[in-house]
Amino acid sequence: MNKILCECGHENLEGTKLCQKCGSPLTEEEKGKKIADMRYEGTAIRSKTYNKSVIDKIWNFFSSVKVGISLIIINLIAASIGTILPQEFYISVATEEEKKQYYSDVYGWFGEVYYALGLSDLYSSLWFQILVLMLGVSIIIASIDRGFPLHKSLTNQRVKRHINFMKRQRIVANGAVTEQQEQTLELVEQKLKALKYNVRREDKAIMAEKGRFSRYGAYVNHVGLIVFIVGVMLHLVPGFYVDESMWLREGETRAIPGMDGYFLKNEKFILETYDNDPQGEQLKQGVNTMAKNYQTNVTLYKQADDAVPGQADNLQEVKSYEIRVNHPLKHEGYAVYQMDYRLNELKTMIFDLSNKATDESLGQISIDLANPQDEYDLGNGAKVRLMGYYPDFSGFKEGVPQTASQTPNNPAFIFKMYTPETPDGETSFVAIQQTLEPDGENIYKMKFANVEMRNMSGLMVRYDKTIPMLFVGGIIFMIGVAIGSYWNHRRIWIEQLADGTVRLAAHTNKNWFGMKKDLDALTSHAHLPHYVDQQELENNENAEIEKDGKTL
Amino acid sequence: MEQKKKRSIMRGVILVILAIAIGYTVYAAITKDKIEIIAAGAEAPDFEVIDLNGEKHRLKDYKGQGVLLNFWGTWCAPCEREFPAMERQYEPFKEQGVQIIAVNFAQSEFEVEKYVTNMGMTFPVAIDKTKSVFTAYNIGPLPTSIFIKPDGTIDRIITGEMSEVEIIQYLESIKPE
């Protein structure tokens, strides 16, 4: 490895701009500058030192600030594209076909293209996740690449700096002290301490420093970001994150998806509306009723500890709860939210067994559509046998009734009716607004009498162990931002030469105004020569040259 | 020289760690629906169902035998089409140590019993009233058939209708040695 030997005798790493010990400029480029580049203290940024092996090349790619900023911009653009149309996650259709249909129906050709490009599920797409992770890598590598050298040079600062270093700071002062020459350094030290600087003294040189930790702000907020990204990543690791939804009918008990061993029973779904006369906006938008409350009364059950799926007997009641919007059922880190509802699904159908001619009734049967019975005995010598039940009747296929789903949307029944008059039984096919009598004219019929409805609750099951981590990441990030923005790193170097004159230089990473105020106080207290802001001088010169150019 | 080598190793190690983290995240993202639950090669979750005849069937008790676990519903036409083939293969394969269990999607006993009588199914049929076996196996569309090897691991998952040739072929592959 090549080392650069400084005139002070210190060996510096290749790529170093300012000597790590005395601050003397080492490169030709650096020597040509009027004001030293104080970023990273002129240390060799690791990635810029070597660029030979593949590892170095990958490393350099990710450590580049340009690459990092490009990644941030690309990420932002990609993420915002995902917000143009709602993501698949938020539309309630199940199959790919339905999704495709939904996007083209609702958003036309744009929706079709959006879906075809996979933008409808952008946040879980491979390329998006790779982008986010690349940003993460860039943050980590850039922090390592710049953070460690910076830390090293900040901790290894020498009190006495090279004249070239001093001369090339933005603020410099040079000259004789106006009064009390012998005490100058004592006065300086005294004042700087009063201004809460950390003061180090070596012979005739003083270095004062304040707020060094603010230089670490950027790295602290990088750490916060990394913690946050890791937290988001953990969503994908089993056991850290559950996000499931379930439909639960009133009276139904079912296993909770994502919450092993737990069962939920829907006791009742309640929808309450405001009892008001529509007015104003409500009328304009054609809204008649306004919801006041969506509520699902549930009972949570737990399986025995050693039970396996399918063993649903012996459930132990855990608790009853009324789930409302923003009031989820909470248990062991899980939360069950009220999300959706469907009203009025057929639950029970009641029929009259009645004589077609006289309309005289032999009694009623009530069929629980979730649990129909084989036989309903009316007691007076009449009974009805249920021969077939089709919850969602969709027509006949080769003479056999078909059902399209298991939901009782359009129930149909085949009854065999036994009465004292018809001991052999009469067969009747009964569907909504449709009755067929396959064996010819019947004497009796099943006359529809009444119906009972039930509601369905759409619930969402959430479990997130990563929240504390996201929280901690966010807090660290904010602390980093605060450290970096509200404090600044001020340094003052002063050297008294043999002839009694004083040489001063000062640097801060931000807030030069504050720095100058400190210097003003110091100058008048210790009777120092006036300082100059070299950058201001340079700017003024440039401005004047420009002006001259224009007048010419 | 020494330091350069050390630096390369350090950078290499850091890059490898990051690459592994990315790789895992991406893999988990792609397979997130199935990762924890079921995939070919994974251990089949244990379960217990009671069939229409009141007999208990526990997966654990079938260790050493192959098991075809079929999830179905009475409204599902492809289920109906594949049952006769399954029925024909039930007896011959049972003798060779392969069991078939059909699990219904929480329908009423009335419907399921009528359906089974009609179809003439002789293999055990159970109703998953609380949908807990469906949930444990993360079942989406019906029919879904899970072929479980004698060692209790999943051999393959077939979503949708199977032909008789396929049924025979898959049952052959989960036969005990």
> Hey, what are B42's tokens?
């994974």
**Per-residue pLDDT at A404 exceeds 70:** yes
A258 Cα to chain B: minimum distance (Å): 8
**Per-residue pLDDT at A321 exceeds 90:** yes
d(CA A523, CA A194): 14
Mark yes or no for CB contact A56/B4 under 8 Å.
Answer: no
> Hey, what are A536's tokens?
């201001």
Contacts of A388 in chain B (CB under 8 A): 114
- As for the ipTM of the complex, it is 0.80
A316-324 vs A329-331, strand pairing mode: unpaired
Taking residues A149-175, report their average pLDDT.
86
Contacts of B92 (CB under 8 A, 6+ apart): none
Residue A547: what pLDDT? 66
Taking residues A242-253, report their average pLDDT.
88
d(CA B154, CA B142): 18
Q: What percentage of chain A exceeds 90 in pLDDT?
A: 21
> How confident is the model over A83-101, as pLDDT tens digits?
888 887 777 665 677 788 8
How many CA within 13 A on the CB side of residue A162?
A: 19
> How confident is the model over A325-353, as pLDDT tens digits?
889 999 988 999 998 888 888 899 999 88
Contacts of A249 in chain B (CB under 8 A): none
Chain A's closest residue to B110, CA to CA, is A372
Contacts of A46 in chain B (CB under 8 A): 7
Contacts of A130 (CB under 8 A, 6+ apart): B22, B26
B107, B111, B135 member nearest A257 (Cβ):
B135
Dihedral pair phi/psi, residue A450, rounded to 5°: -165, 170
* Confidence band, pLDDT 50/70/90 cuts, at residue A124: confident
> How confident is the model over A268-292, as pLDDT tens digits?
999 888 877 767 776 777 666 778 8
Q: What percentage of chain A exceeds 70 in pLDDT?
A: 95
Chain B's closest residue to A52, CA to CA, is B8
Element (H, E) at B104: strand B98-104
Taking residues A344-369, report their average pLDDT.
88
Mark yes or no for CB contact B114/A126 under 8 Å.
Answer: no
Contacts of B73 in chain A (CB under 8 A): 406
Chain B's closest residue to A387, CA to CA, is B114
Nearest 5°: CA angle at A223, between A220 and A228?
Answer: 130
Inter-chain contacts counted by CB atoms under 8 A, chains A and B: 125
Chain B interface, best mutation among A3, A59, A95, by max B CB count within 10 A = A59
Chain B's closest residue to A245, CA to CA, is B135
d(CA A209, CA A156): 13
A263, A389, A406 member nearest B105 (Cβ):
A406
Mark yes or no for CB contact A137/B130 under 8 Å.
Answer: no
Q: A435 by DSSP, 3-state: which?
A: strand
Q: Does A247 touch chain B (CB under 8 A)?
A: no
* Confidence band, pLDDT 50/70/90 cuts, at residue B35: very low
B32, B48, B108 member nearest A311 (Cβ):
B48
Mark yes or no for CB contact A372/B107 under 8 Å.
Answer: no
Contacts of A391 in chain B (CB under 8 A): 75, 111
* Confidence band, pLDDT 50/70/90 cuts, at residue A419: confident
Contacts of A71 in chain B (CB under 8 A): none
* Confidence band, pLDDT 50/70/90 cuts, at residue A180: confident
Element (H, E) at B95: helix B77-95
Taking residues B130-149, report their average pLDDT.
87
d(CA B106, CA A52): 65
d(CA A9, CA A30): 19
Contacts of A53 in chain B (CB under 8 A): 8
* Confidence band, pLDDT 50/70/90 cuts, at residue A546: low
B131 Cα to chain A: minimum distance (Å): 6
Eight-state DSSP code of residue B26: H
C-alpha distances (whole Å) from B100 to each of A320, A430, B45, B86, B172 are 39, 36, 16, 8, 13
With a CB-CB cutoff of 8 Å, which residues 90-109 of chain B face chain A? Answer: 105-109
Residue B34: what pLDDT? 47
Mark yes or no for CB contact B46/A308 under 8 Å.
Answer: yes
B14, B60, B110 member nearest A144 (Cβ):
B14
More confident residue, A177 or A338: A338
Among candidate residues A62, A120, A112, the one with its CA nearest the CA of residue A91: A120
Contacts of A182 (CB under 8 A, 6+ apart): none
Q: How many C-beta atoms lie closer than 10 Å to residue B132's C-beta? A: 29
